[in-house]
Each structure stands twice: as C-alpha cells, then as structure tokens.
Structure 1
Amino acid sequence: MDTDKATEKLAAADAFSEAEKQAVYKAINTRRDVRDQFLPTPLPNDLVEKLLQAAHHAPSVGFMQPWNFILIRDSAQKQKIWEAFERANKEAAGMFDADRQSLYQKLKLEGILKSPLNICITCDRSRGGEVILGRTHNPQMDLYSTVCAVQNLWLAARAEGVGMGWVSIYHDAELKTLLGIPEEIEIIAYLCLGYVDALYEEPELQVKGWRQRLELSDLISEGRWSAGISPDKTTHE
C-alpha cells in the first residue's frame, strides 16, 4: 500500500448551505475601500490574529506562502508614513488634467492616521528556493499569490465588521526605509484597518463621481480576446 496515499485526507466538497452562500456573496458585494469611516476603538488581538489567519490561508504558487505582515499601531510611526503618503499624493495630483485635479484633491485617499491598525503586506520572492513549482514560466505568480492574501484579509474583515483601505500612493524606497524592509523584499499592500459603523452602499469613487462600474457583459468574450471598452468609458461625463 502506498503510505503517502494512506496518509492523505480528503474533505467533502459539498456546496454551502443557502445561508452560507449568501454570506460569502454579501462579503464580496459589500466590501468597500474604507478611508474616512474608521472608529478609534482598537481591534482586539484575537480578532487581528483571526484576520491574519484568513490571509495566511490564501492560495499560493508552489505553496511558497511568500507573504509577511508588518503591524503598525504606533501613532508616531503612522505619522511618518502619512507624511510619506502626503508627499507622493501632491505629486500624484499634478499628474491629472485641471478638471480631474480639482476632484482628486477633494477625495480622501487614505486612513493612515485615523485607523487604529495599519498592516504592510510584503512578498519574499526567494522563499522556497530558486525554482518554484508553478512559477517556472510565470515569475509573477508569487506576487499574485500575495494579492490573494490581501483579498482574503479584506473579505474576512468585512465579515467581522472591520473596515479596510488599501493605500498605494507612496514611494517604495521611502516606505521600505521607514519599515526596515530589505531591498529585495517587495511591498504588495499598505492597509488601514479598524471598526466602522457605516459603509458606502456603492464604491466611494463611484459615489463621488470619479468612475463608474463597468458592465460585466462588456468584459466577457468567448474563445478569443475582445478589445472590449474604451479606456475612459467609466468616467462620469
């Protein structure tokens, strides 16, 4: 008898109950990028552990699990990170034309100081050795795997009534210096988390007129690539 086969355990792959399915779809459809609705109440350590376990159970190429999680709670440290964001944000504003600049400057794009917990998620591309199962022909798969961890964390947070926002406006080198991240480690996400008592019914950028959600039918093709929509189709007139 094959001993390896003998030790394998399989679990039933039954569909979820109707209530369970609705809960999954509710988390997906009501997840929001939170920036300004955070409450000051600290997140309990056991809840943070639970959320990180959800992230840690994301799929990863070759089961390499390339992620690390840096937790930032200290207000002075968050202030320095916010200052790095603010410098980059001023640069970003200048990249839009005059009409868009006005709206851009009105948007709240981060909750670094307001959220009680910030998490930086990184990707160690060397974890598991030089040759990774499943990454032999697509070297970006470890980065994609880490993004799956971000999504797992986001959906778990939504289920727990915790808001989360993804901050992407910063210079990598500056954030690495502030957090002591080695040069060879990739920053994947800088996240803000905290309890919220209300969420936008629709994505905030849609509510505030930045862009509209695309029609799914415009994004589906059969068998071959279809050019789809024009780049500016989702912009409000």
Structure 2
Amino acid sequence: MTVDGTAPEFNAAFRTQFEQLLRWRRDVRTFRSDPLPEGSIEQLVEIASLAPSVGYSQPWRFVTVSDPERRKVIRTAFEDANRDALEGYDGERKQLYARLKLAGLDQAPEQLAVFTDHGTPRGLGLGRQTMPEMLDYSTVNAIHTFWLAARAEGIGAGWLSILDPARVTEALNVPENWSLTAYLCVGYPAEESERPKLEQVGWEEKAAESKTILRR
C-alpha cells in the first residue's frame, strides 16, 4: 500500500523480474564462507513475517543456530539420517545419491531452524478446526517468503530435510508445542544456476504435469 492508501501498480518490468526471481530461487547446497551483513537475518525474517497465515496466527518461529555444540548435534543427525536414506536405494541410483551434495552445514555462515508453534493462541483457531495442518502450511509460506527475499538480496538458502526432527528439537531446547518445519542453511551461493541441481545431475526431470490444470 502506498502512503496515500492506494494499492501500487506492478508493471510488466516488475512482473518479468518477479518471474526471474522465482526461476533463480534455487535450493543452495554450496556456499561461500563470507559472513552476511549484520542484521541480514533479522531483516529477512521480518519480511518473511509478511506471509499469509491461517486466522492470522503467524505460527512460525525462527531459531538461529550458532552454538558449535548444537551445530555438531545437527551435523551428526544429518549424517545418521543420510546414511539410512542411502540404504533405501540400489544400483546406479544409490551411487548417484552417494555423490549428491545434500547439505551446506560445513560452509553456510548461518543456520536457521524454523518451527511451527502448535500451541499459539493467536488466531483463536480460526480456519483450522477442520484442517489443523494449516498452521504448518502457514509456516511453509513464511519460509518461501524468506527464501525469495533472500534471493532478492543475492543470498541463498538450502532446505535440509534429511534430519530427525525429534533430535533437532531436543538439541535446540525449544517449547514442546513447537514442531520442526525446516532447517535452513543460509549464505552467499558458491555457484549460480537457473536449473535445479537435481535436474542437472540427472536425479529427476521437470514434471510436465506441473503445468496441467484439472477442470471439474
């Protein structure tokens, strides 16, 4: 909204840039070690909090993880989960999985755990009586908003899901009503590409049906 209360107009140039932002928003696994400017994470979280949430509940909880011992626990949790995941594949697929770069824990200057607060009184339950998972979806909205805002600043993020949520929750000593939604590695990308890495290495092709709209 502009100063006088009227909605802004987004022109064709902005729409083109917005599409470019979406295309260049990659899941980053290799980072430069350069620290982010002071206050960057706080600014990105503030923008992320503009995301929509069910009943205006704003259930996302961002936790920065900088303590070396806690990071060590996260690293071990990833290694254990990654080893278990590897055993779920066979043959060439297993070999390819073993070569994948699946975490930026050793390089990324910033690590963020993002939780959903299932005990929040905000919103008074509006919109989630029949679909309580809407709280988690709201947090995912905030994470995606964070991701796009970071990309606009030249900062990359990698979503690490090969983790035991219970071990992460215990390591970070957060309230029991919080459930882990994402663990993010954040920093400047060491390499840039418009194509998803998993597409580049041949793990998966872009789904043609993603453009399909069913009509009923």
TM over 0.5: yes
In 2, the alpha carbon distance for the partners of 1:42 and 1:182 equals 29
AA paired with 1:21? Answer: R
For residue 81 of structure 2, give the secondary structure of its aligned residue in structure 1. Answer: helix
In 2, the alpha carbon distance for the partners of 1:217 and 1:162 equals 27
Q: Which of 98, 105, 108 pairs up with 1:112? A: 105
* Alignment partner, residue 53 of structure 1: 46
* 8 A contact 1:51–1:153 mirrored in 2: yes
Q: Report Cα offsets for 1:43-88 as digits up to 9, x if no partner.
A: 1222222111111111000101101111012344323211110011
Gaps of 5+ in 2: none
* 8 A contact 2:51–2:142 mirrored in 1: yes
CA, structure 1 residues 129+155, in 2 after alignment: closer, same or farther (shift >3 Å)? closer
In 1, the alpha carbon distance for the partners of 2:113 and 2:212 equals 31
In the TM superposition, 1:7-26 aligns within 5 A as 11-26=5-20
In 1, the alpha carbon distance for the partners of 2:161 and 2:185 equals 11
Q: CA RMSD in A?
A: 1.9
TM-score, normalised to structure 1, is 0.84
CA, structure 1 residues 217+152, in 2 after alignment: closer, same or farther (shift >3 Å)? closer
Question: Rg bigger for which structure?
Answer: 1
User: Which stretches of structure 1, 4 residues or more, deviate above 6 A after TM superposition?
Assistant: none
In 2, the alpha carbon distance for the partners of 1:182 and 1:104 equals 35
AA paired with 2:186? Answer: L
TM-score, normalised to structure 2, is 0.92
Structure 1 residue 154: Cα displacement: 0.4
Gaps of 5+ in 1: 1-8, 224-237
In 2, the alpha carbon distance for the partners of 1:217 and 1:161 equals 27
AA paired with 2:107? Answer: K
In 2, the alpha carbon distance for the partners of 1:106 and 1:154 equals 25
For residue 89 of structure 1, give the secondary structure of its aligned residue in structure 2. Answer: helix
Q: Report Cα offsets for 1:140-170 as digits up to 9, x if no partner.
A: 1111000000000000011000011000011
The number of aligned residues is: 214
Q: Which of 58, 62, 66 pairs up with 1:73? A: 66
In 2, the alpha carbon distance for the partners of 1:45 and 1:76 equals 23
In 2, the alpha carbon distance for the partners of 1:82 and 1:92 equals 15
In 2, the alpha carbon distance for the partners of 1:21 and 1:50 equals 23
AA paired with 1:32? Answer: R
Identity across aligned pairs (percent)? Answer: 38
CA, structure 1 residues 101+25, in 2 after alignment: closer, same or farther (shift >3 Å)? same
Greater RCO, 1 or 2 (C-alpha within 8 Å, sep 6+): 2
AA paired with 2:180? Answer: I
